[in-house]
């Protein structure tokens, strides 16, 4: 089920968060929704520069170079390279690419960037209606650092969760969000509750950015909604 379709289908005017915005694939269409203010977080410098160019002149988009986390401070953001090509969308605060590089020589370089960390709760926002979260394994830290905000705002959330980035995350993240009041679902020929997800059957892939083979099916987008919006979520269907 397409993330943008869910955000459009359950849209409520307010503040939308694009966490892991990269170069604006979802930032731009989210900013086009009536009454939306988009807060886009992208700590990778080369991606952030393209994001800034893409949203130039849009007064309802605010950019943040920090990464959201469980604590304020700094950390090393690692970006692997395969065949001399930077794998930007694999950049992660929690993956150990040096260890992956040791057993997969196709990962020929790992660049590291010191980035600022901030807790979502530290912003004090209480008008958030939607969150898109894609942070290559660091979902739990983002959620813990924003637990008060998520509990208070009850946003619609789409979260990319992958076992190849963090083993056990397809169970841990939905449990964490359930404790904050959000019900989780995934789409596989129909809607299913997140608790019924079977990682060993529905999501198997290598943790190395040099390997692209994956199980069929490969489900990695999870959708969360407060109880009042669950019927509307379950009424949505993929286009076509």
Distance separating the N- and C-terminal Cα atoms of the chain: 11
The token duo for 21 is 């915005």
Greatest alpha-carbon span in the chain? 49
DSSP string, 73-126: EEEEEEEEEETTEE-GGG-BSS--HHHHHHH-TTEEEEEEEEEEEE-GGGG---
Superfamily of domain 3-77+87-94+113-229: Vaccinia Virus protein VP39 (3.40.50.150)
The token duo for 48 is 């952030």
pLDDT, one tens digit per residue, over 127-148 is 999 999 999 999 999 999 999 9
Peptide bond just before 92 cis, omega within 30 deg: no
pLDDT, one tens digit per residue, over 201-211 is 999 999 999 99
Asked if 92 and 78 touch (Cβ cutoff 8 Å), the reply is: yes
Q: Going along the chain, which residue ranges are E strands?
A: 14-19, 36-41, 61-64, 67-68, 73-82, 85-86, 107-118, 128-133, 156-160, 183-187, 191-193, 221-225
SS3 (DSSP) at 16: strand
pLDDT, one tens digit per residue, over 190-230 is 999 999 999 999 999 999 999 988 999 999 999 999 999 99
Residue 97: per-residue pLDDT: 95
Burial class from Cβ neighbours inside 10 Å (0-12, 13-18, 19+) for residue 190 reads exposed
- Which element (helix H / strand E) includes 230? helix 230-235
Q: In terms of Cα–Cα distance, which of 109, 130, 143 is closest to 27?
A: 130
pLDDT, one tens digit per residue, over 63-116 is 999 999 999 999 999 999 999 999 999 999 999 999 999 999 999 999 999 999
Give every CB contact of residue 178 below 8 A, 6+ residues apart in sequence: 184, 194
Residue 239: per-residue pLDDT: 83
SS3 (DSSP) at 54: helix
């Amino acid at each position: 089920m397409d993330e943008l379709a869910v955000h459009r289908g359950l849209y409520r005017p307010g503040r939308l968060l694009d966490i892991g915005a990269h170069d604006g694939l979802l930032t731009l269409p989210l900013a086009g929704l009536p009454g939306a203010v988009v807060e886009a977080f992208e700590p990778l410098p080369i991606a952030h520069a393209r994001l800034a160019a893409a949203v130039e002149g849009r007064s309802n988009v605010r950019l943040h170079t920090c990464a959201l986390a469980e604590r304020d401070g700094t950390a090393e953001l690692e970006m692997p390279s395969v065949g001399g090509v930077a794998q930007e969308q694999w950049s992660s605060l929690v993956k150990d690419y040096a260890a992956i590089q040791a057993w997969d020589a196709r990962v020929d370089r790992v660049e590291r960037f010191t980035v600022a960390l901030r807790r979502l709760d530290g912003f004090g926002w209480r008008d958030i209606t939607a969150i898109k979260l894609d942070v290559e394994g660091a979902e739990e830290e983002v959620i813990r650092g924003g637990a008060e905000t998520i509990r208070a705002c009850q946003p619609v959330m789409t979260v990319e969760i992958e076992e190849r980035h963090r083993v056990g995350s397809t169970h841990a993240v939905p449990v964490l969000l359930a404790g904050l009041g959000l019900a989780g679902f995934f789409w596989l020929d129909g809607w299913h509750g997140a608790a019924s997800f079977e990682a060993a059957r529905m999501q198997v892939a290598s943790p190395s950015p040099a390997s692209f083979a994956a199980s069929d099916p490969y489900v990695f987008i999870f959708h969360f909604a407060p109880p009042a919006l669950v019927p509307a979520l379950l009424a949505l269907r993929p286009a076509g």
